[in-house]
Structure 1
């Protein structure tokens, strides 16, 4: 195994290794000539002694053997399988834990679909209306395996014979929400599920907004359906805008707060979506 990749795997399994700590270590060793004596030669870093101790307890080879037996793939930012689009986002994940069809990471026409966990029939019917042509045109659907719009987007893509990627908070062994566990397990076999956290990680509150940057980062554009003014969907849209990606919004009723966030996005310049063609003309160009 490549030495840099081995150390990277060790670092993401250390509870003391933040994204910035890993970045500092990799930046320090830009030559790529990493060995046991020099890898942690960062005396100025506040957590380096803790990382050194963690290093002694973590075997990358043992982890990979264990994950392979569970059909879990580790895709590091150094690997060819790692999506080029994801490398350009704010704090790209150093390692993707993946279960399912890795070839989906190479699909070009990719759309993130996010929205309310308490979706209405209007939100579901919007997906049912937009998806047939999107799937026919080989659009990969990315979402967060949450209840509501996320789950319906995954299920609709599958039902129509398309492809979909689910990005979860926490690790594979602690799926959330429980009600979508069967959907997630199916997608781990027939589609693809991703996490930036080791499988034994319990989902924490802060994992969810960080998960959203991966959803938008994998995608050319983000479609928002039924979102309130303060919601995770708007966080996903903000990540998309900050990364220079398209943001699409399905308008809703002005009589309820269910689409206040969507209407806010439209006021801020998101493209109003009335048909699948409105999305397709922006994708793949």
Structure 2
């Protein structure tokens, strides 16, 4: 990947955070990114399926951003831009539906190269039960050098990140917004710690704020990075169950913590078990299951 291509891709992604599949479609029509600046608004609108006015504005802003050294600008904010073609880009993400064209990361870049990753997700209203379950689940995984991936949301995500750090492990947080924003506010201190000692990543340029629809899209990255998915608690209607569907579509193993039949926050996990998720109450079980599955694959 040439410096020129990186500069052009980052400029385009800044003004229009397209995914890799959409970038390939654009590349198919214009051939080389060098040709984009000369592309007409009408032609670009047809390629990217947008209104011509929007396409024309995109081209104006793209040409302006080409004059800015974005890579250096990001580094001044301790942000590293990792394109799809970079050797740092996780191979597992290339197999998901519509992978990001660019990842923006902060923290320990070496974690991107590691293949042993497991996601922990659950309810934003997770109870003490999730915390207690993670005490039994996480230490064996951390001892085997698994990186714990989650979304830095309230509840189960926060429990997973904090417990991993407490047990001396490594954790990755996948954000649904750019680095110049933070959500939720109560997790900001944890996020700042992870940006220095662990790893945060997002598919959104730093200026992009919090939008509701970003989080379902973010979930495909959480499951895509991970070998398997652990669900601690989940209500029957929740984003957590959507993430498990994505994991299953990606061929990932789903583990669920069984809970009280009277608990609203366990109705989703109990349903997952009924539908085929593997019930677990110890990290050793997960290691045994993963080993068994690897022997059959």
Matching residue of 1:27: 28
Number of aligned pairs?
283
* 1:83-117 C-alpha deviation (Å, 9 max, x unpaired): 00011001111110000011001112110000011
Select 2:89's aligned residue among 60, 82, 85. 82
* 1:160-208 C-alpha deviation (Å, 9 max, x unpaired): 1110000111111111000000000000000000011111111100011
Matching residue of 2:11: 10
- Tell me, yes or no, if the aligned pair for 2:233 and 2:269 is still in contact at 8 Å: yes
Structure 1 residues 118 and 16, CA gap change in structure 2 (3 angstroms):
closer
Structure 1 residues 272 and 124, CA gap change in structure 2 (3 angstroms):
same
State the distance in 1 between where 2:265 and 2:252 align. Answer: 24
Matching residue of 1:264: 271
1:206 correspondence with 2:206: no
State the distance in 2 between where 1:75 and 1:199 align. Answer: 13
State the distance in 1 between where 2:17 and 2:228 align. Answer: 34
User: What is the Cα deviation at residue 76 of structure 1?
Assistant: 0.6
State the distance in 2 between where 1:131 and 1:17 align. Answer: 35
Select 2:103's aligned residue among 96, 108, 120. 96
- Tell me, yes or no, if the aligned pair for 2:220 and 2:246 is still in contact at 8 Å: yes
Structure (1/2) with the larger helix percentage: 2
Matching residue of 1:173: 180
- Tell me, yes or no, if the aligned pair for 1:17 and 1:51 is still in contact at 8 Å: no
In terms of mean alpha carbon deviation, does 273-282 or 216-225 score higher? 273-282
In terms of mean alpha carbon deviation, does 213-222 or 34-43 score higher? 34-43
State the distance in 1 between where 2:4 and 2:188 align. Answer: 36
* 1:183-202 alignment, distance < 5 Å: 183-202=190-209
Which consecutive residues of structure 1, in runs of 5 or more, have no partner in the other structure?
A: none
* 1:91-130 alignment, distance < 5 Å: 91-130=98-137
User: What is the Cα deviation at residue 50 of structure 1?
Assistant: 3.6
State the distance in 1 between where 2:134 and 2:181 align. Answer: 28
3-state DSSP of counterpart to 1:213: helix
* 1:205-229 C-alpha deviation (Å, 9 max, x unpaired): 0011111111111000110011011
State the distance in 2 between where 1:207 and 1:114 align. Answer: 17
CA-atom RMSD in angstroms: 2.1
1:59 correspondence with 2:63: no
- Tell me, yes or no, if the aligned pair for 1:249 and 1:265 is still in contact at 8 Å: yes
3-state DSSP of counterpart to 1:223: strand
User: What is the Cα deviation at residue 39 of structure 1?
Assistant: 7.3
Compute the TM-score of the two structures, normalised by the length of structure 1. Answer: 0.92
Which consecutive residues of structure 2, in runs of 5 or more, have no partner in the other structure?
A: none
* 1:31-46 alignment, distance < 5 Å: 33-36=32-35, 40=39, 42=43, 44-45=46-47, 46=49
Structure 1 residues 281 and 60, CA gap change in structure 2 (3 angstroms):
farther
- Tell me, yes or no, if the aligned pair for 1:9 and 1:60 is still in contact at 8 Å: no
Compute the TM-score of the two structures, normalised by the length of structure 2. Answer: 0.89
